[in-house]
Amino acid sequence: MFNFMAKMLPHLRYSVNRYSPIQRFYFLHFAPLSSSSKAVKSNSENAKNGDSFTVSYLVNKCRFTPERALSASNYMKIEEAGKPDAVLLFLKNQGFTKSQISNIVKRFPPVLVCDPQKTLLPKIEFFKSSGFTLEQLTAILNGSPSTFKRSLENQVVPTFNFLNNFIGSTEKIVNVARRCTHIFGVDVEASIGPNIQLLKDVGVPESKIIKLLIHQPRAFVIDKEKFRDIVEEVQGMGFNPLRYKFLLAVHAFRAMSKETWEKKMEAYKKCGFSEAEIFKAFEKNPWCIMVSTGKILAMIDLLFNKMGFERSVFLNRPVIISLSLEKRVIPRCLVYQDLLAKGLINEGFRLANMLEASEKKFLEKYIACHEKEAPHLLKLYTEKLALLH
């Protein structure tokens, strides 16, 4: 069973790299700079190329850093202030806040050279007529600003209709757009549609497909043949298509490159786990392999080396690795140590139960019930949370 990766790893090459800061700047996707030297060329060099006004406008009017302005000037030209000023005023009049406008411009600078009436207004009017509130409208365009440059007829409308028919909620469409900023540039009929149908064909309930689409829309944006290969591999591993873990496994292989998978395997092996044990944990909960290598090492060091967890805890409850280190594990371990020191729990107490408990249950079961014996616990816990945030 564990030889599946010999066949699986080539398929992982299809996936895109994990989200990185540079991906936030859509305009860089068309022709990224080939070297850092281009990103730091001087204003005088830009002046020779006629870009000095663009750089000056972005720095002075839009608060770009000089480096970011220089990069943007390679893909757009501002010849005079009239057009970008009109765009900024238009967005303000449409109800976008100052911070939203700043975010849109920084993530998609070409919006500044769009025609407000011919290019921007039709999209805004379409979303309004489709039932989006002003708050939802600004959220979707703030989260996916490249939508302003998409063809309304050929891209925006078909994508909206597809999502609306399948998930049936403007709020959910907003969530999809926030998580996949280029969603309105995707040919949904050619990619997302067939991939959804494939999942239905192998027995995945539609409700679970909708859940994945809302929370991980990028998982569906892939060539249908490559997506089929991944689904078949997940089937071959024995995942049950009726359970959400099936889709999490698909998402994991879709999101990771071969190199990323190997690094995470090595991280677990450094901590003493065998390949067979890692696969066993992955089959129980795919999230354990989707966290960063840094988090894997930090979490295992804390829980196993410092808190005394047994290896069986990871094998039986691998979801623990995916919990937030700062927001949950460290503060709760501090409470655990305090309770143990005061004799309010014994060493046989299962820390894993405390870590997996909901926030409400944790406060009730492990802090409020000990208010008389340890009135400082709540303060200790909240102060640690605040410090780590």
pLDDT tens for 238-259 read 999 999 999 999 999 999 888 9
* Residues 263, 296: Cα–Cα separation, whole Å: 11
Residue 197 lies in a domain: no
CA dist 69 → 66, 114, 142, 182, 259 (Å): 5, 18, 20, 22, 33
pLDDT the model gives residue 34: 36
Rounded to the nearest 5 degrees, what angle is found at the Cα of 278, between the Cα atoms of 276 and 283? 95
**In this prediction, what percent of the chain has a pLDDT beyond 90?**
67
Domain interval for residue 299: 258-388
Q: Average pLDDT for residues 101-130, to the nearest whole number? A: 94
Read off the DSSP letter of residue 80.
S
Whether pLDDT at 278 is above 60? yes
For residue range 338-358, what is the model confidence (pLDDT) as tens digits?
A: 999 999 998 878 899 999 999
Q: Average pLDDT for residues 354-383, to the nearest whole number? A: 93
Residue with tokens 């303000």: 92
**254 neighbors 227 (Cβ within 8 angstroms):** yes
Considering only CA atoms, which of 97, 99, 84, 110 is closest in space to residue 26?
A: 110
Residue 219 lies in a domain: no
Residue 115 lies in a domain: no
Q: Average pLDDT for residues 28-37, to the nearest whole number? A: 35
Whether pLDDT at 40 is above 60? no
**39 neighbors 33 (Cβ within 8 angstroms):** yes
pLDDT tier at 182, thresholds 50, 70, 90: confident
Q: Categorise residue 238: left if φ over 0, alpha if ψ from -120 to 50, beta otherwise.
A: left
pLDDT tier at 134, thresholds 50, 70, 90: confident
pLDDT the model gives residue 20: 34
pLDDT the model gives residue 61: 93
Residue with tokens 């006004």: 53
Q: Average pLDDT for residues 212-226, to the nearest whole number? A: 93
* Residues 362, 346: Cα–Cα separation, whole Å: 17
Q: Average pLDDT for residues 17-32, to the nearest whole number? A: 32
Residue 365 lies in a domain: yes
Cα within 13 Å of Cα(34), Cβ side: 0
Residue 182 lies in a domain: no
Residue 24 C-alpha from the chain's centroid: 11
pLDDT the model gives residue 201: 97
Please state the length of the chain.
Answer: 389
CA dist 243 → 208, 270, 280, 291, 352 (Å): 8, 31, 17, 21, 23
Considering only CA atoms, which of 121, 106, 58 is closest in space to residue 84?
A: 58
Q: Of the given ranges (177-191, 219-233, 333-347), which has the lowest mean pLDDT? A: 177-191
What is the token pair recorded at 234? 């997940």
Residue 299 lies in a domain: yes
Q: Average pLDDT for residues 286-315, to the nearest whole number? A: 91
pLDDT the model gives residue 142: 85
pLDDT tier at 25, thresholds 50, 70, 90: very low
Q: Average pLDDT for residues 35-63, to the nearest whole number? A: 64
Residues 6+ apart with CB under 8 A from 156: 123, 126, 147, 150, 184
* Residues 204, 206: Cα–Cα separation, whole Å: 6
Whether pLDDT at 51 is above 50? yes
Residue 333 lies in a domain: yes
pLDDT the model gives residue 29: 33
Mean pLDDT of the chain: 85
Residue 340 lies in a domain: yes
Residue with tokens 């069973």: 1
Q: Average pLDDT for residues 362-377, to the nearest whole number? A: 93
pLDDT the model gives residue 388: 81
CA dist 387 → 297, 301, 383 (Å): 22, 21, 6
**In this prediction, what percent of the chain has a pLDDT beyond 70?**
87
Number of domains present in the structure of the chain: 1
**84 neighbors 72 (Cβ within 8 angstroms):** no
